[in-house]
């Protein structure tokens, strides 16, 4: 393997490519965020931090920031992609603000918009945008976080008074971890089991007042503060109990299910399960926002650690002059550069996901009454999008956790100091792997999508009961290319069949390797699950024994999607030197992924032992090759210096190191050894 | 592979085995710690937390706690092992207190004791024990943390006044991250380049006053607060600058190097480097303490997560009745149970290390003037101990970081709440991978020890310049069994040569597998480094290209040491059911380790692909097998309930879940679906 020479690259074209379709939103956000209070919040008490974040949220509202994502008829821009890009950019600042904004405008506002009808929109959308009505998204309960279909809060219709009675039947049914609940929320979208005429109709959402204008909790509602958390302490999470709270019939967000005055239930969607999953579609944007913000946090951490690694020196090289810059050590490069490469890959995957959602939302908007709901192709694309949002959220948030941690360790003791921001980045993003869907549960969702083809073919069967059915599906069609179809086709077709001699940097070989892994893992999962319906087999046991295998299927699927998006991104690049650099970054991303999964490739005869060793050698060589470009690669994220903020990354450290070297040169003849 | 049935085991004999030789110290510590303020400190400001920890430290001092590790002639017990065990037990409480105690009595007191002579001992040891003299261990500088041999602070002897002039020549030479410096420290052991007669003599330590009795900084000393950190905010870390501070000649801790009144330098140890490394021997206890405390923190986290996993239910099983306990899911078991098994392994390795140090220290004490220093066998054992302390510190602290993180994620949103302790455990232990020696640097130290046999054979050459020399050493003798020699010999000899058919649970096969891996990795590293002395080869490049390989050599060496310690621990067990359980725990520890390194075993032809798959199957089967014993395994740590403290792990959660199930059984016929 020969690595082609990569010329020096300026950040300009690289930043432009990364900025992509919503570049204008990103540039505007950079300007705005550089002028806001610095992201550091570690010297604040919980109450101070909450107050600061609320004030910042108000500034955003006053500047009209949240309008971008809301419908034009309510003064918004209807720019879904721009809205998601804005959330991603907030990830460069104090993540408490990003999450608080996400709760207010993404989850609370988004649920009212998506699940409500005109009466709700007219009543509250403007107030939500302006922050006159701070609100909560009250879904999770103590007893049910991942399994939200089985929430226990009840909303029982009373035809006598034409009201719903909202109730928390026992302790585990209390709403928990609800953002905006402990301090600021005035209203809440509450998810509850709808009961009318003595019959349960599944989970529905109601728009409910929880505090009055003066901020006092309304009768029938009890709120408790969740208290201090690992991070995100600018967000006021709380617990909510309802004690037979009576709310008008019109509180029901009735787009997907309604109750007439006499208590008759109606819905445009048949089946409690299918209706519920349609409602859950509103969570997609939340997941995409979290993935985006996680990506931004990882980029901030990488910018800090790479810059520090380029100024920090430790240990004299044998026979060398002076101490070695720590990023020259292979072990240090390995901590940071493959993670940096994967951050690039995920950036392009995120951009593609946002674009897809934006276009799908566009179809909705232009269709007026969103008749798209009943269009099978629309539903197909919607399911595909949900699956990809779930998969990328899991991949992106785990990547952020690992990467920020590696950055902290790479900065040693300096990385442990709050002033250098890594502790807060780490602590704030930690829960990203859990909220908006636990990552493990999300990967199962992805796997379920892969296994069934698409849900509508199999109705509402659970992930296990239908195992035999699944097994009979044709899965070979699942590997459906998501981006840059023709370019990838060309690459794959150009690969010679003899893998052993193919260059390790051959992109077509990379794609084939990832596709082949995905197909094989999926195929073998299906074979295992086939036995779930056998006589005497305990379906839970069959599923459970295969759980790690199922999760692997989802992971390698996401790996392939991400790679394709990276390739498509490089295809869009028109600046030749930038393209060359990105190709090497992509090589490192791919081969580090292969190396991490080497046991699979070896164990399944996909790589010989010689070639496996060559992969490790190539990762090392690519790290060395990209080392001179490390500064460019983090600078191209164009994070405002005011937001990077860490003294070790913003010149102060470099100045001190320079002073030391000057001093030592001066003293050189002062003492003898 | 058939897993033998494991009977139900009571925690009694298991706890007794784990408690081991210093069981009395552990039992006493449990009683004392249960009576102290709860470990939670997340609602305190930095200053409140520091004050609380200082008060607790004073309580420990007043109770005579620190005496256990100091010499009998100063009122101590001279019980080195007991002292280290005490630090390990402090790891179950607020880790700020553990670190603060470690700084005061381990590092500061330990340095005075080990590097000073009678004049220093008489003057301050009692004051240090009683906390009348709070002190600092001022080694690390901003510019030199890992490479402490090249510290820049100077101590220049002035024969005219018989004083040393202590000076910080430039910004990077300031002392940094120094515990006890920002608030409480009155004195400090300061490490500096000793200069006398215009000649540098390498790093030495001086005992210096930095604050007066009223707590004001003395003239010539400037102190700055490092401010908020990710965790350990009960410890007051600071930066110290010296501006030509004059201290008496007697300030020099002169056991290993002295300066006469006229400025003549003398030392019982030849060579700056060798002398320095002898002085660094004082750091061993710090490393062992950190490893021990990390182990305790990981155990606390596992106790919390396993108990929660046993009460928390989520998702209904198909065809089952009710929701599934989350620890019944394979993916959940895989997050927690292999980590629990490795915690057991590391516990026994830690105990063995403490015992070895204790016995070596005993030789010192009984020899009166510690003539052991010049005994080649003593030096050999000392080097071996240093290497093991470094390796276990790296392995143990990384294990703790990963495990606590996995526990946090396994507890979902509840794991993110401060009240459930996981956030603080995670944040407090995070820096353990960095301080008392950065883990990556420590692993290189281990590798260096392995490569050279023992340092005295090669003098003071650096790790790279001597590469050719190293390569000529015989490394086959390196695999020297550390524990339970005869028992292991028996196990290994009983293995049939045909690996493929050996039972996956055969302990002799495990040992052979680990030994063989260590030998092979070491052998190939040596072959690579042999070229470092070749004409035209850049020695740094040769070393650097092999760095990941060098680190692997250290890691697999530590893996083998830990396994042998686990086997030795099981050998000591006299209760048959307990022994059976521990054997399964050891199986899981080993096979999870093999699985994590499967690419190596496959890539080097050590396992066939069929057997590699069987390893994964065995890990799954062992998880399932140990699942019913999970509660016993964490209860056997005997952590006082007052210290576990997390509501999700101490009955409150279980009570709520019971109430929910009772309520739901009652309501069963209330609504129809």
Q: Let me know how long chain A is.
A: 673
Determine contact: B527 vs chain A, CB below 8 A.
Answer: no
- Residue B470, pLDDT above cutoff 50: no
- Quote the percentage of chain A above a pLDDT of 70: 89
Round to the nearest angstrom and report the end-to-end CA distance of chain B: 46
Whole-number average pLDDT of chain A: 89
Q: Tell me which residue of A177, A31, A180 sits closest to A92, measured CA to CA.
A: A31
Closest Cα of chain B to A13: distance in Å? 33
Determine contact: B366 vs chain A, CB below 8 A.
Answer: no
In the stretch 546-585 of chain B, residues with CB closer than 8 A to chain A read 547-548, 551
Work out how many CB contacts closer than 8 A connect A with B.
Answer: 265
pLDDT value for B540: 84
**What mean pLDDT comes out for the span A263-290?**
89
Which residues are CB-neighbours of A213 under 8 A, at least 6 positions away?
A: A186
Determine contact: A430 vs chain B, CB below 8 A.
Answer: yes
Cβ-based neighbour number of residue A360 at 10 Å: 17
Closest Cα of chain A to B114: distance in Å? 26
Asked if the domains A134-271 and A449-482+501-635 are classified in one and the same CATH topology, the answer is no
Give the C-alpha separation, B270 to B278, whole Å: 11
Give the C-alpha separation, B300 to B549, whole Å: 34
**What mean pLDDT comes out for the span B610-622?**
96
pLDDT per residue as tens digits for the range B130-154:
999 999 999 999 999 888 889 999 9
pLDDT per residue as tens digits for the range A438-461:
999 999 989 988 886 533 333 434
Find the residue in A nearest to B548 (Cα). Answer: A331
pLDDT value for B483: 60
Q: Tell me which residue of B180, B189, B178, B183 sits closest to B216, measured CA to CA.
A: B183
pLDDT per residue as tens digits for the range A31-42:
999 888 777 777
> Is-contact B512 B488, C-beta < 8 A?
no
A51 phi and psi angles, rounded to 5 deg: -65, -40
Contact B417 A226 (CB under 8 A): yes
Which letter, b or e, does each residue of A266-285 get, where b requires 16 or more Cβ atoms within 10 Å of its Cβ? ebebeebbbbbbbbbbbbbb
Give chain B positions within 8 Å (CB) of A200: 671-673
In the stretch 241-300 of chain B, residues with CB closer than 8 A to chain A read none
Q: Which fold has domain A449-482+501-635?
A: Butyryl-CoA Dehydrogenase, subunit A; domain 3 (1.20.140)
> Is-contact B238 B223, C-beta < 8 A?
yes
- Residue B475, pLDDT above cutoff 60: no
Contact A323 B440 (CB under 8 A): no
CA atoms within 13 A on the CB side of B261: 1
Helix, strand, or coil (residue B53): helix
| CA B246, B250, B254, B258 torsion-angle sign | positive
Contact B413 A177 (CB under 8 A): yes
Which residues are CB-neighbours of B518 under 8 A, at least 6 positions away?
A: B478, B479, B553, B556, B557, B559, B560
Give the C-alpha separation, B389 to B284, whole Å: 6
Confidence label for A484 from pLDDT (cuts 50, 70 and 90) = low
Closest CB from B152, B228, B409 relative to A42: B228
Give the C-alpha separation, B61 to B66, whole Å: 6
CA atoms within 13 A on the CB side of A398: 16
Give chain B positions within 8 Å (CB) of A334: 548
Closest Cα of chain B to A228: distance in Å? 5
Contact A319 B438 (CB under 8 A): no
Distant-in-sequence contacts of B54-60, Cβ < 8 A, 24+ apart: B54/B100, B54/B183, B54/B184, B56/B94, B56/B97, B57/B97, B57/B100, B57/B101, B57/B104, B57/B131, B58/B131, B60/B97, B60/B101
Contact A170 B315 (CB under 8 A): no
C-alpha distances (whole Å) from B32 to each of B28, B63, B79, B429 are: 6, 10, 19, 22
**What mean pLDDT comes out for the span B577-592?**
98
- Cα angle vertex A100, ends A98, A105, to 5°? 95
pLDDT value for B364: 52
> Is-contact B56 B101, C-beta < 8 A?
no
Give the C-alpha separation, B449 to B331, whole Å: 39
Tracing tokens 């009808």 back to the chain, one arrives at A117
Closest CB from B171, B176, B465 relative to A318: B465
Contact B423 A427 (CB under 8 A): yes
Confidence label for B473 from pLDDT (cuts 50, 70 and 90) = very low
Determine contact: B665 vs chain A, CB below 8 A.
Answer: no
> Is-contact A102 A284, C-beta < 8 A?
no
**What mean pLDDT comes out for the span B173-192?**
98
C-alpha distances (whole Å) from B11 to each of A67, A625, B341 are: 61, 55, 16
Q: What is the largest CA-CA distance in chain B?
A: 98
Lowest mean pLDDT among A170-184, B22-36, B102-116, B307-321: B307-321
Tell me whether strands A313-316 and A199-209 are parallel, antiparallel or unpaired: unpaired
pLDDT per residue as tens digits for the range A104-113:
999 999 999 9
Give chain B positions within 8 Å (CB) of A671: 195, 198-200
- Residue B477, pLDDT above cutoff 50: no
Which residues are CB-neighbours of A312 under 8 A, at least 6 positions away?
A: A325, A326, A653, A657
pLDDT value for A377: 76
Give the C-alpha separation, B326 to A476, whole Å: 33
Closest CB from B45, B408, B603 relative to A609: B603
pTM of the shown model: 0.92
C-alpha distances (whole Å) from A366 to each of A279, A355, B510 are: 20, 16, 65
Cβ-based neighbour number of residue B493 at 10 Å: 9
Most A CBs within 10 A among B404, B416, B521, hence the mutation to make, goes to: B416
Contact B170 A660 (CB under 8 A): yes
pLDDT value for A673: 43
Contact A603 B620 (CB under 8 A): no
Q: What is the ipTM of this complex?
A: 0.91
C-alpha distances (whole Å) from A53 to each of A36, A574, B184, B308 are: 11, 41, 34, 33
pLDDT value for B480: 56
**Considering the domain B449-484+503-635, what is its CATH architecture?**
Up-down Bundle (1.20)
> Is-contact A335 A620, C-beta < 8 A?
no
Q: Tell me which residue of B522, B445, B515, B441 sits closest to B481, measured CA to CA.
A: B515
Give chain A positions within 8 Å (CB) of B608: none
Give the C-alpha separation, B108 to B188, whole Å: 7
Find the residue in B nearest to A315 (Cα). Answer: B147
Give chain B positions within 8 Å (CB) of A660: 143, 152, 170-173
Contact A599 B609 (CB under 8 A): no
pLDDT per residue as tens digits for the range A488-499:
888 888 886 666
Find the residue in B nearest to A614 (Cα). Answer: B603
In the stretch 118-157 of chain B, residues with CB closer than 8 A to chain A read 140, 142-147, 150, 152
Give the C-alpha separation, B244 to B154, whole Å: 9
Most B CBs within 10 A among A224, A434, A552, hence the mutation to make, goes to: A434
Give chain B positions within 8 Å (CB) of A616: 548
Give the C-alpha separation, B77 to B66, whole Å: 9
Find the residue in A nearest to B41 (Cα). Answer: A228
> Which among A447-456, A613-622, B373-382 has the top mean pLDDT?
A613-622
Please tell me the CATH code under which domain A134-271 is placed: 2.40.110.10
Give the C-alpha separation, B206 to B245, whole Å: 12
Determine contact: B308 vs chain A, CB below 8 A.
Answer: no
Contact A45 B45 (CB under 8 A): yes
Cβ-based neighbour number of residue B243 at 10 Å: 12
pLDDT value for B224: 97
Give the C-alpha separation, B266 to B271, whole Å: 11
Confidence label for B478 from pLDDT (cuts 50, 70 and 90) = very low
- Alpha helices, DSSP H only, in B91-140? 95-101, 109-115, 118-129
- Residue B163, pLDDT above cutoff 70: yes
Contact A413 B419 (CB under 8 A): no
pLDDT value for A35: 86
Closest Cα of chain B to A71: distance in Å? 33
Cβ-based neighbour number of residue B364 at 10 Å: 17
Contact A230 B427 (CB under 8 A): yes
| CA A292, A295, A300, A301 torsion-angle sign | positive
Contact B143 A657 (CB under 8 A): yes
Contact A667 B169 (CB under 8 A): yes
Contact B416 A409 (CB under 8 A): no
pLDDT value for A365: 45
Q: Tell me which residue of B472, B484, B543, B279 sits closest to B386, measured CA to CA.
A: B279
Tell me whether strands B154-158 and B199-209 are parallel, antiparallel or unpaired: unpaired
pLDDT value for A622: 98
Contact A330 B545 (CB under 8 A): yes
> Is-contact A317 B540, C-beta < 8 A?
yes
Find the residue in B nearest to A617 (Cα). Answer: B545
- Residue B342, pLDDT above cutoff 70: yes
Find the residue in A nearest to B142 (Cα). Answer: A414
Which residues are CB-neighbours of B25 under 8 A, at least 6 positions away?
A: B68, B82, B85, B86, B89
- Residue A432, pLDDT above cutoff 60: yes
Determine contact: A486 vs chain B, CB below 8 A.
Answer: no
Find the residue in B nearest to A545 (Cα). Answer: B330
A195 phi and psi angles, rounded to 5 deg: -125, 125
> Is-contact B595 B559, C-beta < 8 A?
no
Contact B409 A320 (CB under 8 A): no
Domain ranges of chain B: 16-280, 449-484+503-635
Give chain B positions within 8 Å (CB) of A328: 544
C-alpha distances (whole Å) from B140 to each of A191, A280, B148 are: 55, 53, 7
- Residue B367, pLDDT above cutoff 50: no
Lowest mean pLDDT among A412-421, A603-612, A619-628, B525-534: B525-534
Give chain B positions within 8 Å (CB) of A313: 143
Contact B169 A409 (CB under 8 A): no
Determine contact: A492 vs chain B, CB below 8 A.
Answer: no
pLDDT value for B374: 56
Whole-number average pLDDT of chain B: 89
pLDDT value for B656: 67
Find the residue in B nearest to A196 (Cα). Answer: B671
Q: What is the dihedral of CA B524, B527, B531, B532, to 10 degrees?
A: 60
Tell me whether strands B187-196 and B135-138 are parallel, antiparallel or unpaired: parallel
- Residue B668, pLDDT above cutoff 80: no
- The CATH number for B16-280, chosen from 3.40.50.720, 2.40.110.10, 3.30.70.141, 3.30.70.890, is 2.40.110.10
């Amino acid at each position: 393997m020969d690595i082609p020479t990569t010329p020096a690259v300026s950040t300009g074209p690289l930043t432009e490519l990364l900025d992509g379709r919503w570049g204008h939103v990103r540039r505007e956000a950079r300007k705005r965020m550089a002028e806001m209070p610095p992201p550091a919040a570690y010297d604040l008490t919980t109450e101070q931090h909450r107050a600061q974040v609320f004030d910042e949220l108000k500034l955003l509202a006053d500047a009209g920031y949240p309008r971008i994502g809301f419908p034009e008829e309510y003064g918004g821009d209807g720019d879904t992609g721009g809205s998601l890009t804005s959330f991603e950019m907030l990830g460069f600042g104090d993540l408490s603000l990003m999450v608080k904004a996400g709760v207010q405008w993404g989850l609370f506002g988004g649920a009212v918009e998506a699940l409500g009808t005109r009466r709700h929109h007219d009543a509250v959308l403007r107030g939500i945008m302006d922050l006159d009505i701070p609100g909560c998204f009250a879904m999770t309960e103590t007893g049910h976080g991942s399994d939200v279909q089985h929430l226990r809060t009840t909303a029982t219709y009373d035809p006598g008074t034409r009201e719903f009675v909202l109730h928390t039947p026992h302790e585990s049914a209390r709403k928990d971890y609800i953002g905006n609940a402990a301090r600021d929320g005035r209203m809440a979208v509450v998810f509850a089991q709808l009961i009318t005429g003595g019959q349960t109709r599944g989970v529905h959402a109601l728009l409910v007042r929880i505090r009055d204008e003066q901020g006092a909790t309304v009768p029938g509602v009890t709120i408790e503060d969740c208290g201090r958390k690992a991070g995100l302490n600018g967000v006021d999470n709380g617990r909510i109990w309802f004690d037979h709270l009576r709310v008008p019939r019109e509180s029901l967000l009735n787009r997907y299910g309604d109750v007439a005055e006499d208590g008759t239930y109606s819905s445009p969607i048949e089946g409690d399960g299918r209706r519920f999953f349609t409602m859950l579609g509103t969570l997609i944007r939340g997941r995409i926002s979290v993935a985006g913000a996680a990506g931004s946090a990882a980029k901030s951490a990488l910018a800090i650690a790479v810059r520090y690694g380029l100024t920090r020196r430790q240990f004299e090289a044998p026979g060398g002059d002076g101490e070695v810059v720590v990023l020259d050590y292979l072990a240090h490069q390995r901590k940071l550069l493959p993670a940096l490469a994967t951050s690039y890959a995920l950036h392009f995957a995120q951009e593609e996901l946002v674009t897809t959602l934006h276009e799908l939302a566009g179809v909705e908007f232009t269709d007026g009454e969103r008749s798209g709901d009943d269009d099978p192709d629309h539903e197909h694309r919607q399911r595909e999008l949900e699956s990809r949002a779930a998969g990328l959220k899991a991949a992106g948030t785990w990547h952020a956790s690992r990467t920020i941690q590696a950055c902290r360790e790479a900065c040693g003791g300096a990385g442990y100091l709050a002033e250098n921001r890594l502790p807060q980045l780490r602590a704030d993003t930690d829960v990203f792997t859990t909220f908006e869907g636990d990552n493990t549960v999300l990967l199962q969702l992805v796997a379920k999508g892969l296994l069934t083809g698409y849900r509508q073919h199999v109705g509402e069967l659970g992930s296990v009961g239908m195992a035999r059915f699944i097994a009979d599906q044709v899965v070979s069609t699942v590997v459906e290319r998501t981006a840059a179809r023709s370019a990838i086709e060309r690459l794959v077709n150009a690969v010679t069949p003899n893998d052993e001699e193919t260059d390790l940097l051959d992109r077509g070989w990379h794609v084939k390797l990832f596709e082949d892994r995905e197909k094989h893992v999926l195929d073998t999962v299906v074979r295992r699950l086939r036995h779930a319906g056998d006589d005497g087999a305990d379906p839970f046991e069959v599923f459970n024994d295969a759980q790690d295998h199922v999760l692997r299927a989802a992971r390698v699927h996401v790996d392939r999607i991400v790679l394709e998006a990276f390739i498509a991104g490089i295809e869009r690049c028109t600046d030749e030197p930038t393209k060359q650099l990105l190709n090497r970054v992509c090589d490192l991303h791919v081969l580090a992924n292969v190396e991490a999964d080497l046991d699979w490739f070896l164990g399944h005869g996909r790589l010989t032992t010689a070639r496996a060793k060559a992969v490790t050698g190539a990762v090392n060589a690519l790290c060395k090759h990209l080392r001179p470009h490390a500064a460019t690669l983090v600078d191209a994220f164009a994070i405002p210096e005011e937001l990077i903020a860490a003294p070790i990354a913003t010149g102060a450290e470099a100045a001190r190191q320079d002073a030391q070297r000057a001093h030592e040169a001066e003293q050189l003849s002062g003492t003898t050894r």
